[in-house]
Amino acid sequence: MDNATTYREAVREAIRKAMREDERVFLMGEDVGRYGGCYAVSMGLLDEFGEERIIDAPLSESGFTGAGIGAAMNGMRPIVEIMTVNFSLLALDQIVNNAATLLHMSGGQFNVPLVIRMATGGGKQLGAQHSHSLEGWFAHVPGLKVLTPATAQDAYDMVGLALADPDPVLIFENALLYNAKGSLDVEATPLPIGKAFVAKEGKDVSVLTYGISLFKALDAAQSLAKDGIDAEVIDLRSLRPLDDETIMNSVKKTRKVLIVDEGWKSGSVSAEIMARINEQAFYELDAPMERVCTVEVPLPYAKHLEDAALPQVDKIVAMAKKVMGES
């Protein structure tokens, strides 16, 4: 694999590798078989693995997510694909009340090694029922792990890491990233779940982000550099668990913080990170923390309104300058 590898191809290859190596692994979801997946991630897998392992499920997220939980409890390694994060709300009871709790409620007797993948994020003009970033909701729930791969490498690595985990793992794939290209080394040792990555070193301000906002933050850092501001960009990669150590080390280094989060502000991942920094590194700060989030509206369909609602590079640049004390 090389720089021509798309995010979509990276996910597909990770699933293919896992299914070739472990007959317990199967993929289940809406249109994952003959149609090749709503975002073409599973294209070609039905021909290779057949209908018993690439399962086209009915339009019932609660039903097939529950079936995945049952299969996981009985020794299988299911990958459940939910078409979009908004539709995961139809399976919320299964995910939150069953998958996340069964290990605890069984006194440690029953693990649920379930992987749930879903598309997330706006910017595609798909309307308010297909465009929200709700990964922060799931990051609130003990018993779940929440991963947000931004790069082709992480998109590949995180499938394998999630399948190896004994507990339920949710992978949120921003739909705008599927066509994005990046380098992929299938032999590389993956960063573990719960470990953030310093995507760009800097000394003036820490920009903490995840998913597609990573690339907006990196573009903003380039723009800021022209004005003499050296931004450090942290790819959180995992929202539960959060990597407090990497976050606090960056805060102590730059002493200024900006968080970019495609979720809404209220009750968000950004709010949680701000709270943790206040608890663990408040006296390291030289300025109030700031954040750029999605405007608190249902995501509009109209392109100009959707773009205005989402975090964008110019907003990140402006807020970083505010943190730095510049108008």
Is residue 189 domain-resident?
no
Do 164 and 246 have their domain in common?
no
pLDDT, tens only, 31-68: 999 999 999 999 999 999 999 999 999 999 999 999 99
Dihedral angle at the C-alpha atoms of 39, 152, 306, 83, nearest 10 degrees? 30
Q: What are the tens digits of pLDDT across the range 196-254?
A: 999 999 999 999 999 999 999 999 999 999 999 999 999 999 999 999 999 999 999 99
> Rounded CA gap, 216 and 218, in Å?
5
Let me know whether 117 and 221 are in one domain.
no
Residue 192 counted as domain residue: no
| Domain-terminating residue out of 182, 205, 234 | 182
Task: Specify the pLDDT at position 4.
Answer: 84
Decide which of 150, 182, 214 is a domain's last residue: 182
In a domain, 282, yes or no: yes
Beta sheet of 257-264, edge-to-edge order = 197-200, 231-235, 205-209, 257-264, 290-294
How many domains in the chain? 2
Domain harbouring 222, CATH code: 3.40.50.920
Considering the chain, what is the average pLDDT of its residues?
Answer: 96
Range of 135's domain? 5-182
Same structural domain for residues 172 and 283? no
- Residues 167 and 232 occupy one common structural domain: no
- The model carries a pTM of 0.96
169: domain CATH number is: 3.40.50.970
Pick the last residue of a domain from 182, 212, 237: 182
Q: What is the pLDDT of residues 151-166, one digit of tens each?
A: 999 999 999 999 999 9
Residues belonging to the active site: 61, 130
Same domain, 202 and 278: yes
DSSP 8-class letter at 31: T
Asked, for residue 191, whether it belongs to a domain, the answer is no
Whole-number pLDDT of residue 326: 82
